[in-house]
Each structure stands twice: as structure tokens, then as C-alpha cells.
Amino acid sequence: MNIFVINSGSSSLKYQLFRLPAEQPLCSGLVERIGLDNSVITHKVFPAVGEEQVVRRTLDLPDHRAGLREVLQLLTDAEIGILQDPNEVEAVGHRVVHGGESFAATTIITPEVKREIKRLFPLAPLHNPANYVGIEVAEQIFPQAQQVAVFDTAFHQTLPEYAYRYALPEELYREQGIRVYGFHGTSHKYVAAQAAAYLSNPQARLITVHLGNGCSMAAVRGGVSVDTSMGFGPLAGLVMGTRSGDIDPSVIFHLIGQLGYDAEQVSNLLNKRSGMLGLAGNSDMRDISRALEAGDERATLAYELYAYRIKKYIGAYAAVLNGLDAVVFTAGVGENDALVRRLVCQELDFLGIELDEAKNATRSPGIREINQKESRVKVLVIPTNEELEIARQCEELLSTKD
């Protein structure tokens, strides 16, 4: 089954084309810095024999629609294309961030499903609109393919009620569905399974730390999510690229009551102008890292604050799990930023977390163990593969349907 997977992030677009049951993609790619100057497309083709082919293009992409159209041109390119006819794709799997209370599992996309995804835009304003655009463009390019939605919120549907409820009047939950949903579920599910297999412990107590432009953590016991840092929308929890993470609600009241902000301005502030962008003037950790190396004080504070928030959640989730077998770092920052991992893990030896500085600074493919040999808790770097997880779930759903 040929499955094309689209994973639209807040400023990026990842994709892979699979021919399942083989789990090695035929091609993959990443579109970065969408909406910024000098957007970059990196497209890789993996032939059956010979070396992979890599194409890199730098151009201005104002939105996700423009990015996806460039990707589709590469897929059907006369020289490096994998597809001759878009109808060769049998299914398109879409990452959709927010499923609300409506979607607890992978779902075939219908007009009703699209309407519900659109209705949920206010709960994930940076993501669901981009996901929706991906669906609409894919429907045009792959009209014969089955369109499938895989929801970030699904993995966290196992949270106990005392973890997903807010201390608000009952009717706001019962009638409006205001509760913790959690996000990045596809990534947390994938790396938790990889960690459990690596540890040969299906009941492992894990803290998974997904650090990209968006950031979240999950407490996972026996492959089941029991708590997570994001909440009703993907704004709560950790400091992110442009999102504030946890903030005292009194700040919002002050912005509205004393500074004259309206609801839209507050949303724009907390979702698009805060986080690392607000602290350091830049949302890309690679740019902030270079500024830090140059002695920039704002960049230094931003790194310290970013790591401190992660460390606080590690302490909380170790308590929730009543112990800890491993901390797992994943996604773009988690996999590649050694300084973040060092700042997070320092002074956590009382929990049994002892980082090996040399291993932490050394890059290598696959799962990496970066803790000291005597560390009671493993510290793992596991590359996430949300696209493969989405493809697997699409195949499982469509096979069951058949």
C-alpha cells in the first residue's frame, strides 16, 4: 500500500512516502521556515540500489499551501520523482493536532470530519488550519486516495479523570468539553514504544520530552500516557518557539483590563509573539544557540528558562510515575541540542539521572544512551518518526475497513 504522510507543523512541513509493509520510506523531506525569509526544502529519495539523492532548494514560501505544492512537484519530477501518476498513492495520512472530544482514534476523512476539524481551529490556531490546508490540497492532488486523519490528542485519551479535568464548574466540561487533551501524541507514542523495546521492559516508567518548535512532555507507564504538559490547546506547559507555555492567568486579566488588549490580541501574543521569540528575539533554536555562543544575554536567559521549565516537569512526572526508568529526548531540539539536554539533566542526580557529557556531545544515528554507566535512570535520545507511526495507523485502519 502506497501511503503518503503529511505532517504540518506550525512553521514546518515534514513528509514521507511509504510502500507498506516495508517501513523504509521511498522518499522523505522537510520544509523549514515556512512564512519566514529563505524557506528551505530538503528532499531525499531512497533508491532500491545506490546512494540516496538529496535536493535542497531555498525559496520564499509564504504559507503551507505553497510549501506543499513545491513538495508535490518534487514527487512527480521527471528526473527524481517517485510517482508518475498521483493516483499511485492509495492513502494520504494527515497529522491533525486537535481532535477535541470528537476523535479518539485514527479516522477516515469525510466532509463531516473536515467540518469538525475546522470547528476546532480556535483550540489549535497554529496547527489545525495548516493541517486542514494539507487535507484540502491533498484531496486535489490525490483525488483517488483515501484521506486519513491521525490525531495528536488520541494517545492521551488514557489520562485518568483527575489528570485531564480542570477545577472549573462541572458544566464547562460536560457541555463545552473543556479539559486536558494533550498533543504530540503520535510522537510520544512512537518514542515510548521504542524506549520500552530498547529497555526490554514493556512496563517501563518513562518521561518523553518532545522538543521542536512546539514542545511537550508526557508521563508514560507501560505504554500508556498518564499525564502530559499541554492541555486544552497546545499552548500550555513548556516554553516553545513562539508560544509562552504555562502562564499565570492573572497576566491575561492584566493585559485585558489594564493594557486594553482584546481576546484576539492576547491569543496572538501568547501563541505567536512569546516563547523563545519573546525572550531572545528569535524562534529558531539554532539562531539562538549562535547568539548564546556570541555572549548574548537574552539568549542565555532564554536557554536557562527553557531548560528550567523542562526540569520542573521531570520532577513532577517522576512523582506521578512513582519512580523513573528513562528520560527520552526527541524531535528537532531534543535530538540535536546537546546544551539543552545538559542544562535539563544537571543537578538531577538525586533522581538517579547522571548525564555523560562526552556521550551527550557525540552525534550518531539511531537510539543513543547518553547517561553515565552507573546512572540509575537511562537518558535516551530517540529520533521520532511520526510519519511512520501515522502510516502504520493508516494501514491498520484501512486493512480493518477492507
Going by the annotation, the residues of the binding site for Mg(2+) are: 7, 386
- Amino acid letter at 26? L
Instruction: Output b/e per residue, 109-129; b: 16+ Cβ within 10 A.
Output: beeebbebbeebeebbbbbbb
Q: Do 336 and 315 touch, CB atoms closer than 8 A?
A: no
CA distance 350 to 318: 11
The three three-digit cell numbers of residue 52, written as one number = 540516496
CA distance 280 to 199: 38
Q: How many residues does the chain have?
A: 402
* 332 CB neighbour count, 10 Å cutoff: 21
Between the CA of residue 151 and those of 60, 180, 182, 232, what are the distances in Å?
29, 15, 10, 14
Best CA proximity match to 156, nearest among 205, 93, 215, 223? 223
The cell 530498547 sits on which residue? 198
Q: Which helix (H) or strand (E) holds 272?
A: helix 263-272
* 346 CB neighbour count, 10 Å cutoff: 14
Query: In whole angstroms, what separates CA 140 from the centre of its chain?
Result: 26
Best CA proximity match to 205, nearest among 323, 53, 358? 323
Binding site for substrate, residues?
95
User: DSSP labels for 79-101?
Assistant: TT-S-SSGGG--EEEEEES--TT
Binding site for ATP, residues?
14, 210-214, 284-286, 332-336
CA distance 328 to 380: 5
- Amino acid letter at 172? L
Determine which one of 152, 227, 325, 337 is catalytic: 152
Binding site, residues?
7, 14, 95, 210-214, 284-286, 332-336, 386
User: DSSP labels for 364-391?
Assistant: -SS-EE-B-TT-SBEEEE----HHHHHH
Is 152 known to be catalytic?
A: yes
* Active site residues per annotation: 152
